[in-house]
Structure 1
Amino acid sequence: MTSRAVSFWLHSQDLTFQSESALPPQADVVVIGGGITGICTAYWLSQLGIRPVVLERGHLSCGATGRNGGHCVFGANQSFKASVEDIGLEETLAVWDFTEQSSQLLQEVTHRHSIDCDLRFNRLVAFAMTPAQAQAIQDNCDVMRSHGLEATYWTQAEVYQQTQCSAFLAAGVKPHHGQLWPAQLVVGLAKAAQHQAHIHTQVEVQAVTRQGKDLHITTNQGQIQTQAVVYATNALAYHLLPNLKEVIIPVRGQVVATAPTAPLFDFDWLLNDGYEYAIQRQDGRIIFGGMRWKSPTKEVGIEDDTTLNPSVSEGLKAFLRDTFTPLRDIAIEYEWTGIMGFTADENPIVGELPNRPGEYISAGYTGHGMALAIAAGKAIAERITGSAQTPIPKAFRPERFGLG
């Protein structure tokens, strides 16, 4: 596993972002992490009149945000049916409402600040490759429709009509899904926040300690005193919060980007219960990720995003080549890995940490952070400033894992 992973989303971006050369000794709020969550939180804090300091150990968007598949998957991480069975209808609908609000906010902020991040909304198609998957998809569509949500079931003949591909037995279609260039969104939001926010890259946070009401942030470039800190490091949150080590588990995903090709799909898609996922960008490139089941460990517990797993790599390329005739000779121009943060119930952890006043977290997205971070950052910022308007679903709250 020695091949270097180069993300398409990062290859042409200027992600060096330094507000000033020295860290300030004090800050209203310190946000740890310069990905979508950290920058969204800093953006909303700046909108509320707060001057946050953002600390990122690498460059902006260098973690999972700049290394994902470019999806915004709205709704629960689980299927609607599974979510209702696990947390109930009311809470499942609260999760869906939260992601719908996040979608609206995403559209508003990109329009307000003229952020060109290739944002595009589309349908999401979930393909079935086995009879069991086809039945599960049909059952899920039935449950969604019974509760007033839009969902369409495609038979095998309808799938073939849409894809000219005989590998899929059925599909479920949701009308609302997004794709975007994640790093461009982060840079755009960082620029929009910089009138208030101090953003520092290449600063590694080594410890957060409490002295009375104050929190002391120790970094490789000095200390900062604050009364509020936001942990926005997703799978790596346990590095500073050891009690999260068994709560948010790092899982490595792998993604390829093809050369531009003629339009094959007028929708985004996933299959194998979300293990595989793809978009076709407006420039014609297909971004396809997954196949981690090709690894004996399913890539669980891995934090190295600099190398590729050759078994996963071959699985990704073979699937495109063998499933879609027009892609038989398609060139793979980029391939990369990124580290997701999985929780046991597939829901993120968003809110103030129990019995740790002034310490907030938004992490553990289980691969769906892009759709959640806008609203999660807003909810955290509002709670820090005492102006909470954005409700956080109970299913996201930290206390469910007994973190106090």
Structure 2
Amino acid sequence: MAPILPIDNPTLPFWRTELDELDTLRTTASLPAESDIVIIGAGYAGVTLAYYLLKQLGHETNTTTPKITLLDARQICSGATGRNGGHLRPDIYGHIPTYIERHGLDSAIEIAEFEYAHMQALKDLLVEEQISCDFNITRNMNVYLSEEGGERARQAYEKLLAQGVAVARDLHYTSAKNAEGISGVKGAKACLSYTSGTLWPYKLILGLLHRIAGSPALNVQAQTPVTAVTPSGEGGHLIHTPRGVLRAGRVVYATNAYTAGLLPEYAKNIVPCRGICSHIALPAGHDAPFLPYSYVVVTKEGGGGSYLISRPDGSIIVGGAHFTFKKEKELWYGVVDDGTLIEPTQHYYDDFMQRTFKGWEKSGAYVKEIWTGIMGYSYDSHPHIGQVPNKPGQYICAGFNGHGMPVVLLSAKGLAEMIATGKTFEETETRMPRVFKTSAERIHKAQTGPEGGDILGK
């Protein structure tokens, strides 16, 4: 299978309008000849994995061989992490009832609690490393514009409480009587809120990279695409790039949507899917009500809605609108082109704030930046974490379903523990959800099951 690589001329996301000095970092002018561990991909998963590995292994090195080499095809954090909605939104009720049916109550609770734990884990990390990335803890307001949608949310909420799901106690349901007044969304039929966070994801990742970039045990090579990974005759692996070949003892695929180009067995398990996001600003001299919450606005049409966060300056990041292009599969499914917009949706957000929120009608709000991003959707909705089956010394941390912000941090921490200590997936102190473990069984199920799995079923 040919490599699946990010394109060279992507659309410009708001998050990359203030570039960091490490954006195109190459620690050394030439590619190192060898490394103990090579991480492919320098987004959320790759950088946090390098951070936690250095904590586990130490920063010192006694030779000229770096312990860890971090590679990226484009600039640092130029993929899905640098193109997302800035929304740290754990799933504690949306898919959890489905997971209860599939995997049992205990496994579903593991997922909900793991995602919920990311808010405190990220907050603690930012304090420890003194990283400034506009992080804020707020309430995520899930607003339903149809009575049917609101009723389904109420039933899911009450069912989770009845089953004793502890994190569901953070949920607060508001019926149609007060939904519009509480949420500020016109025509709201119900809303359900819970604790969530917002942030500038690019600044998180580059801030974290600043804390480790000076380590003699780390070599970072941006703009270095990996075209193949092959066995080395001396043991280990050969990492092939246009800039040369790097020998590695172990290799980690933090490649998300681009995984199948290097691990073809995952072609049916992790599929690249394109989405759209935008930054909405106010003209000079115009005002609008500040939105104190983050949002998911679920449309009457079904098939999803829009996710939204408020920025500290009063501007808005909003994206999604999958229902506007879902039926045109060729526009998003299996697509790695983040250099063009999605035609049916490119003007959807032009007057979104005016038509959606009370008090924004005369705001003059306009789309300042709009971009696309490539997400890695998994066949069964769960990421693949752990040792690649039948490939000793190879690991994967990918397939985050456009939902990586409340999943990646602790997944990378757990995988770092596995790599550094030799512990199994089940033995790690991070206690990753069992269904996240990559396996031959999961790979086979995607290869033999209906096309798309959960991806096309959503």
TM > 0.5: yes
Query: What is the aligned counterpart of 2:197 among 171, 175, 178?
Result: 178
Cα distance 1:77–1:252, how it changes in 2: closer, same or farther (>3 A)?
Answer: farther
Inter-partner Cα distance in structure 2 for 1:35 and 1:395: 23
Give the deviation of 1:204 after TM superposition.
0.9
Unaligned runs of 5+ in 2: 1-8, 59-66, 446-458
Unaligned runs of 5+ in 1: none
Give the 5 Å matches for 1:132-147: 132-146=148-162, 147=164
CA contact under 8 A between 1:154 and 1:172: conserved in structure 2? yes
CA contact under 8 A between 2:14 and 2:279: conserved in structure 1? yes
Inter-partner Cα distance in structure 2 for 1:129 and 1:117: 32
Inter-partner Cα distance in structure 2 for 1:215 and 1:31: 12
Cα distance 1:403–1:117, how it changes in 2: closer, same or farther (>3 A)?
Answer: farther
Tell me the equivalent position of 1:266: 292
Inter-partner Cα distance in structure 1 for 2:18 and 2:335: 26
Cα distance 1:282–1:331, how it changes in 2: closer, same or farther (>3 A)?
Answer: same
CA contact under 8 A between 1:125 and 1:270: conserved in structure 2? yes
Query: What is the aligned counterpart of 1:91 among 104, 107, 111?
Result: 107
Inter-partner Cα distance in structure 1 for 2:246 and 2:93: 36
Query: What is the aligned counterpart of 2:265 among 218, 243, 251?
Result: 243
**1:207 paired to 2:228:** yes
For residues 340-368 of structure 1, what are the alpha-carbon distances to aligned partners after superposition, in whole Å with 9 as ceiling and x for unaligned?
11112211111111111111111111111
Inter-partner Cα distance in structure 2 for 1:240 and 1:4: 21
CA contact under 8 A between 1:351 and 1:360: conserved in structure 2? yes
Query: What is the aligned counterpart of 2:386 among 330, 334, 351?
Result: 351
The amino acid of 2:395's aligned partner reads: Y
The amino acid of 2:40's aligned partner reads: I
Q: In terms of mean alpha carbon deviation, does 122-131 or 68-77 score higher?
A: 68-77
Give the 5 Å matches for 1:246-257: 246-257=268-279
Give the 5 Å matches for 1:288-307: 288-295=318-325, 296-297=328-329, 299-307=332-340
What secondary structure is seen at the aligned counterpart in 2 of 1:227? strand
CA contact under 8 A between 1:43 and 1:197: conserved in structure 2? no
Inter-partner Cα distance in structure 2 for 1:163 and 1:402: 42
Give the deviation of 1:144 after TM superposition.
2.6
Tell me the equivalent position of 1:401: 442
Give the deviation of 1:208 after TM superposition.
0.7
Number of matched pairs: 401
CA contact under 8 A between 1:76 and 1:83: conserved in structure 2? no
Tell me the equivalent position of 1:389: 429
For residues 292-328 of structure 1, what are the alpha-carbon distances to aligned partners after superposition, in whole Å with 9 as ceiling and x for unaligned?
3222226222211111123212222243332225334
Give the deviation of 1:166 after TM superposition.
3.1
Tell me the equivalent position of 1:380: 415
CA contact under 8 A between 1:65 and 1:183: conserved in structure 2? yes
Inter-partner Cα distance in structure 1 for 2:35 and 2:78: 24
**1:53 paired to 2:69:** yes
Q: In terms of mean alpha carbon deviation, does 13-22 or 282-291 score higher?
A: 13-22
Give the deviation of 1:256 after TM superposition.
1.3
CA contact under 8 A between 1:59 and 1:201: conserved in structure 2? yes
Inter-partner Cα distance in structure 2 for 1:354 and 1:35: 24
Query: What is the aligned counterpart of 1:197 among 198, 210, 218?
Result: 218
For residues 39-72 of structure 1, what are the alpha-carbon distances to aligned partners after superposition, in whole Å with 9 as ceiling and x for unaligned?
0000001111253110001001100010011111
Tell me the equivalent position of 1:321: 354
Inter-partner Cα distance in structure 1 for 2:93 and 2:181: 28
Inter-partner Cα distance in structure 1 for 2:93 and 2:266: 20
The amino acid of 1:269's aligned partner reads: Y
Inter-partner Cα distance in structure 2 for 1:91 and 1:301: 29
Query: What is the aligned counterpart of 1:369 among 396, 399, 404?
Result: 404
CA contact under 8 A between 1:253 and 1:338: conserved in structure 2? yes
For residues 164-201 of structure 1, what are the alpha-carbon distances to aligned partners after superposition, in whole Å with 9 as ceiling and x for unaligned?
43322111112x21111011011011111221321110
Q: In terms of mean alpha carbon deviation, does 315-324 or 278-287 score higher?
A: 315-324
The amino acid of 1:266's aligned partner reads: P
For residues 234-287 of structure 1, what are the alpha-carbon distances to aligned partners after superposition, in whole Å with 9 as ceiling and x for unaligned?
111111111211111111111111114544422111133754100111111111
Query: What is the aligned counterpart of 2:79 among 58, 63, 68?
Result: 63
